[in-house]
Amino acid sequence: MNKGKLIIWDCDGVLVDSEWIGARAFTDIINELGGQLTVSEVYHSLKGGDIYKSIQFVKEQVTIRDDAEIVARYRKLSSELFEKELKQVSGVEKVLSSTTKHRCVASNGPRIKIFENLRITGLMKYFEPHTIFSGHDIQSFKPEPHLFLMAAELMGTNPDSCIVIEDSLHGANAASAAGMFCFGYCAETEPEAFSALGATPFHSMDELLQYLM
């Protein structure tokens, strides 16, 4: 098993349980504009993507005049929902408090969202501000590998000494392309799909902790 020197955490879906909440926000927006989608349909269409792909998905469902207006509406609505409902992924704090490896976060989400979600869930204490990386910093998003490669470089670690913790196939693809070992959280993704990308699937944070110890 890869014992890497640096653990690179995705945020949504492995640190914070945010993806269904975000899907609800986009579902509300789509249906307010005349669409007819369920939260499940939106969730499975957007999982692991970035805001630009999400807006493109909205445009495929309904007619919108201004992309920026939809982004602003989503940010406001999702922020309100996160503040009220966002929680840690079950068991993740045990992993963070039990492992001594260097760690960072690399997420497709904007930096302010990552900081806020970690603050709301009480997980910010496990990360320094300079160890949080956003695809918006370089305008490159998973499944492209550049975000992971940037994180490894700025953390002073070779890609082949990194362990990525992901819950989406976009993230597992990015890890593979970056030459990094990946653990795939099977909360909403089939283990066979992760295995096909060379990632090691896991089903609970207790299981992940055993791999990392």
**Per-residue pLDDT tens digits of the chain, which is 213 residues long:** 456 799 999 999 999 998 889 889 889 999 988 988 999 999 888 876 778 888 889 888 988 878 888 888 888 998 899 999 999 999 999 999 998 889 999 999 999 999 999 999 999 999 999 999 999 999 999 999 999 999 999 999 999 999 999 999 999 999 999 999 999 999 888 999 999 999 999 999 999 999 998
pTM for the whole structure: 0.85
The confidence score (pLDDT) of residue 101 equals 85
Q: Of the listed 10, 12, 17, 50, which one is catalytic?
A: 10
Q: E-assigned strands of 1-126? A: 6-9, 102-107
Cα dihedral value 41, 190, 94, 87, nearest 10? 0
* 182 touches 166 (CB < 8 A): yes
Order of strands, sheet of 200-202, starting from the edge strand that comes earlier in the sequence:
132-134, 102-107, 6-9, 162-166, 181-185, 200-202
Place of tokens 């470089």: 153
pLDDT digit string (tens) for 26-57?
A: 899 999 889 889 999 998 888 767 788 888 89
10 among known catalytic residues: yes
Distance, CA of 65 to CA of 10 (rounded, Å): 32
